[in-house]
Amino acid sequence: MAYFEVGTRGQGAVATSGGAPVCATARTSFSDFGGKAVHYDPHAVIYYEGDPARRLYELLRGSVMLYKLLPDGRRQVVEVLQPGDIFGLANGEENDCTAETLTDALVQEVELRQVEQSNELQRTLARCLSNQMRGLHEHAVLLGRKSAVERVASFLMHLVPDRGGLDCTGPTNPDDDSCDLRLHMTRQEIADYLGLTIETVSRVISDLKRRGVIRVDKADRIHLNRICSLCQMTGMH
């Protein structure tokens, strides 16, 4: 599988990751164009769906989810953002999603006015957006066509750095095809991201555990015993 494709995979949500912005190579940082870096606590709302869009946001550190609600309370998490991703762009309309932090997060906030004025920024913007678009395409396949097991396997694989992509060459060390993950999401958040219920997510994880593919150290600390086996379950092989 290949969420967010090359260059953005596995950053931020992985305990062992570096955490550098990865949206594009040799890119212009938004911080060069004014605005301020703001810190948010975990589970803080940055803005609500329906709010007038005033600023452009770049995630510098931590992770943020974007979600939409239906009137009856059903929720769909539409994106899980990593450092380097941008959000809040609405073309003069209202924000179409709520933005909420998953972890502590550092966010660069720039007034949309200023964004309009910089050619350099527009260029970076286009590059970031088209990267995120790929992630959304991939996610549409997951939501529209994959089984529960495939969704959870895909979700876990996309947290593994340098694995599961088209260019994946398998484990570097054939005797140790394992990896430690931090999820930073509750079962409910995972379920809402994967278009499943909390119970189904829990059941699938228990199942993977029973089959020896993963080990659950704590609810949000998961050890992958055999990455390749997991990857085989994503529906992309």
Residue numbers at the binding site for a second copy (CB under 8 A): 5-6, 24, 66, 68, 70-72, 74-76, 78-79, 89-91, 93, 96-97, 119, 122-123, 125-127, 129-134, 136-141, 143-146, 192, 194-195, 235-237
- Reported as half-sphere exposure (CB side, CA atoms, 13 A), residue 223 has a value of 9
Q: Which of 198, 225, 228, 229 binds DNA (CB under 7 A)?
A: 198
Q: Which of 72, 93, 218, 237 binds DNA (CB under 7 A)?
A: 218
Pairing of strands 221-224, 179-182: antiparallel
Angle between helices 198-210 and 148-157 (to 10 degrees): 70
Please name the residue that has the structure tokens 């959304």: 136
Q: Should residue 212 be labelled a site residue for DNA when binding is judged by CB under 7 A?
A: no
Q: Which stretch binds DNA (CB under 7 A): 34-42, 111-119, 187-195, 227-235?
A: 187-195
Instruction: Provide DSSP, 48-64.
Output: -TTSBP-EEEEEEES-E
Q: Should residue 205 be labelled a site residue for DNA when binding is judged by CB under 7 A?
A: yes
* Nearest approach, Cβ of residue 79 and DNA (Å): 19
Q: Should residue 203 be labelled a site residue for DNA when binding is judged by CB under 7 A?
A: yes
Which one of a second copy, DNA, none interacts with residue 147, CB within 5 to 8 A by kind? DNA
From residue 16, alpha-carbon distances to 3, 145, 160 in Å are 18, 31, 10
User: What does residue 175 show for φ and ψ, rounded to 5 degrees?
Assistant: -90, -15
Q: Which of 89, 90, 149, 168 binds DNA (CB under 7 A)?
A: 149
Residues with Cβ within 8 Å of 104's Cβ and at least 6 positions away in sequence, in order, are: 39, 40, 41, 42, 61, 62
* Nearest approach, Cβ of residue 139 and DNA (Å): 15
Binding site for DNA (CB under 7 A): 147-149, 186-188, 195-203, 205-206, 216, 218-220
